[in-house]
Amino acid sequence: MTTTPTTPAAANPLLDFSGLARFDAIRPEHVTPAIDDLLAGTDALVKALEAPMASVTWQNFVEPLENATEKLGRAWSIVGHLNSVVDTPELRAVYNENQPRLVEFWTALGQNLALFEKYKALQAGPEYAGLSAARKKVIDNAVRDFRLSGAELADDQKERFGEIQEKLAALTTRFSENILDATNDFGLLVEDEAELSGLPEDVRQAARAAAEKDGKPGYKFTLHFPSYFPVLQYADQRSLREKIYRANATKASELGAKPEWDNTDNMTQILALRHEEAAMLGFANYAELSLVPKMAQSPQEVIAFLEDLGRRARSYGEKDWTELRAFAREQLGLDTLEAWDTTYASEKLREQRYAFSEQEVKQYFPEHKVVNGLFQLIQRLFGVNISTDSAPVWHPDVKFFRIERDGKLVGQFYLDLYARSGKRGGAWMDDARARRLTGNGIQTPIAYLVCNFTEPATVDGVRKPALFTHDEVITLFHESGHGLHHMLTQVDEVGVSGISGVEWDAVELPSQFMENFCWEWDVLQHLSAHADTGDTLPRALFDKMIAAKNFQSGLQMLRQVEFSLFDMHIHYDMAPGTSVQDVINRVREQVAVVRPPAFNRFQHSFSHIFSGGYAAGYYSYKWAEVLSADAYGAFEEAAAAGGNVVSIETGQRFQREILAVGGSRPALESFKAFRGREPSIDALLRHSGMAA
């Protein structure tokens, strides 16, 4: 393809790297011409770098290659980001048209023997010893990644390897699209308000607004989390809970609304292709390949870690389930506790046991207070200043901020908080631009922080402040931890600055670390203000929240172990002729206390492992939780020694040894530099209420 005359390169906003992305100007028709231009330029540079050189140096080889690939990566990341947050038929079409071209380029680059030989020459050459630790790590990672990309394969195998990458990219994208389409398609219209007994007023208002938007009477519920989850949690009408549970549990499966959105075959093909890819590279299975750049050494080590956690949590999970069933039978008249009853019964038990509801807590967390309180904490811990900034955005609700230290720009971030049609579910942080040293000085990092909270309700034409559940507050803190890891880096090499180059099973350390502050009285005082009175969270309510913090923690731990073991087994030792459903059934027999109904198809929308970066890596959440709980222990120790849990000295040390170094050294070294020892599981068990 060639650049169309209607969109010359100079006028294409995707080719403007002078500042912030021009989200107000980017259109689907800009994508193909921009990718044409960038691929042509990068291909030409690669050809030049393939030529023999008298000597290979950082300046004459790595730097020009990184300059070209960074621009291509940035442009495509903008397209991918828009595809995630404002999906339209036109954007999806152009994304799917260009994605194979990008995959083909990156696959060919990763298999380029001439470039591979130059990286090896640089690694073995005289310049290497004098390079910074970060530059050495970039070179070492590159040599490893060339091997993992099939650079040493025979030419005919390289062709097949490339086909596998393209097919995987198409299948994983389709997997995500099926979930989004099935989610957007579903609508449950309730016309009789009596059926909404138990539902909080703000949930009813949102459902009413959704129905009005469709020009229909009554209340509309969808499969977007802020819509369906409160139904499971609060709706007294059992049949209503069952309808929404069943729709969510079967979406994008053979039991879902439309056969073309069934992910069954996509999963089978993805797993087969991953296994083939691993075999071509000399690994017995995909799990072994996946673990090469991670902290964990082998699938057996991961499985042993997870099974140990499962054993430790088992008795707590059984106790949780026994108590819930007895409560449901005696207090709610539910002799059989079905899957669509458990969230409802759990909320009722929690309210009875701890005398408060999620809805009561929610009134104390309006968006502006939570966001400002989060910023105050970050400013105090890490010695920075956060202020509003201006930038073109993709939706009116998106806000933009800047982080400064001593008056100098450190980083910037977009904050996109609310669920909406055309936006994929979940919460995530993504890299919009990485920190690096350029000829013009330091390029500062930029991040996307994306959530899917309930949008503010509009009542009588007035938009009310959004109210967050405490879980949503925790989610926001989690994503901000990823953002800080990306933005507070002090590393100047793009390949290992921020989250780049960090082992995948350590990348959750800063995010899970930040969650802990959501349980601190001093922190919550600055996060809370009642929606009507403006009062901060009362101490009595906080004490109840703390008492309830580990409510059903045994069941929650077992659920995460179940997902992680399922992920590891389908990528490690799934026997021929076995289905994905067979594997999850087997894992549930081994670890689950609560078994979902036979129609549950959770795996069909398990995008973390089938279309995200967590394939044979979902265990990372628990692995990193050991690290994060132990790291937070240093702040608890500072408080116990007469200081404050928001310890500036400890915060500066965490920033220096964890956040600032990014991927420039192994994560275990960074942890030991901060903590002064190897990580211990004790803090995680204590935080989960499972200490001996």
Does residue 544 sit within a domain?
Answer: no
Residues 168 and 210 in one domain: no
Euclidean distance between CA atoms 427 and 536, whole angstroms: 27
Amino acid identity of 630?
D
3 confidence band (pLDDT: 50, 70, 90): very low
Average pLDDT (566-595) is: 97
Q: What is the largest CA-CA distance in the chain?
A: 83
pLDDT tens-digit map of 393-433: 999 999 999 999 999 999 999 999 999 999 999 999 999 99
571 confidence band (pLDDT: 50, 70, 90): very high
Residues 474 and 445 in one domain: yes
Residues 333 and 407 in one domain: no
Residues 214 and 162 in one domain: no
In the prediction, which pLDDT does 608 show? Answer: 96
Does residue 629 sit within a domain?
Answer: no
Residues 267 and 323 in one domain: yes
Indicate the residue among 260, 278, 300 that finishes a domain. Answer: 260
315 confidence band (pLDDT: 50, 70, 90): very high
Indicate the residue among 618, 644, 675 that finishes a domain. Answer: 618
In the prediction, which pLDDT does 462 show? Answer: 87
Euclidean distance between CA atoms 473 and 466, whole angstroms: 12
Query: What tokens does 138 get?
Result: 């970039």
pLDDT tens-digit map of 70-107: 999 999 999 999 999 999 999 999 999 999 999 999 99
Residues 497 and 560 in one domain: no
Euclidean distance between CA atoms 465 and 470, whole angstroms: 16
Helices marked H in 461-508: 470-487
670 confidence band (pLDDT: 50, 70, 90): very high
Average pLDDT (251-260) is: 97
Residue entry with tokens 């086909």: 163
In the prediction, which pLDDT does 599 show? Answer: 98
The three-state (H, E, C) secondary structure of 22-34, written as one string: CCCCCCHHHHHHH
In the prediction, which pLDDT does 691 show? Answer: 83
Residues 275 and 155 in one domain: no
Query: What tokens does 405 get?
Result: 């230290």
Euclidean distance between CA atoms 413 and 393, whole angstroms: 11
pLDDT tens-digit map of 671-680: 999 999 999 9
Euclidean distance between CA atoms 86 and 607, whole angstroms: 18
Does residue 654 sit within a domain?
Answer: no
Does the pLDDT at position 9 exceed 60? no
Does residue 545 sit within a domain?
Answer: no
Active site residue 479: yes
In the prediction, which pLDDT does 191 show? Answer: 96
Indicate the residue among 575, 596, 618 that finishes a domain. Answer: 618
Mean pLDDT check: name the lowest of 27-31, 170-174, 292-296, 459-463: 459-463
Does the pLDDT at position 2 exceed 60? no
Does the pLDDT at position 660 exceed 80? yes
Residues 247 and 269 in one domain: no
pLDDT tens-digit map of 43-58: 999 999 999 999 999 9
In the prediction, which pLDDT does 303 show? Answer: 98
In the prediction, which pLDDT does 463 show? Answer: 87
Residues ≥6 apart with Cβ < 8 Å to 376: 526
Q: Is the dihedral of CA 228, 230, 234, 235 positive or negative?
A: negative
Domain count, the chain: 4
Does residue 606 sit within a domain?
Answer: yes
Full DSSP string of 41-58: HHHHHHHHHHS--SS--I
Residues 43 and 115 in one domain: yes
Does the pLDDT at position 4 exceed 60? no
In the prediction, which pLDDT does 6 show? Answer: 45
In the prediction, which pLDDT does 76 show? Answer: 98
Active-site residue (options: 479, 508, 515, 657) = 479
Residues 105 and 174 in one domain: yes
**CATH number for the domain including 376?**
1.10.1370.40
CB of 379 closer than 8 Å to CB of 391: no
Does residue 664 sit within a domain?
Answer: no
Of 549, 523, 496, the C-alpha closest to 651 is 523
Average pLDDT (440-459) is: 94
In the prediction, which pLDDT does 313 show? Answer: 96
**What is the percent of the chain with per-residue pLDDT over 70, rounded to a whole number?**
98
Euclidean distance between CA atoms 202 and 320, whole angstroms: 30
Residues 391 and 521 in one domain: yes
Does residue 37 sit within a domain?
Answer: yes
**CATH number for the domain including 291?**
1.10.1370.10
In the prediction, which pLDDT does 457 show? Answer: 84
Average pLDDT (622-627) is: 95
What's the angle, vertex CA 359, arms to CA 325 and CA 220, rounded to 5?
90
SS3 content of the chain, % helix, strand, coil (to 5): 60, 10, 35
Mean pLDDT check: name the lowest of 87-96, 180-189, 302-311, 452-461: 452-461
Segments forming the whole domain that contains residue 108:
9-181
10 confidence band (pLDDT: 50, 70, 90): low
In the prediction, which pLDDT does 302 show? Answer: 98
Whole-prediction pTM: 0.91
Average pLDDT (223-237) is: 97
Does residue 22 sit within a domain?
Answer: yes
Residues 256 and 268 in one domain: no
Instruction: Give the β-pairing of 436-438 and 399-405.
Output: unpaired
1 confidence band (pLDDT: 50, 70, 90): very low
Q: Please state, rounded to an integer, the average pLDDT across all residues of the chain.
A: 96
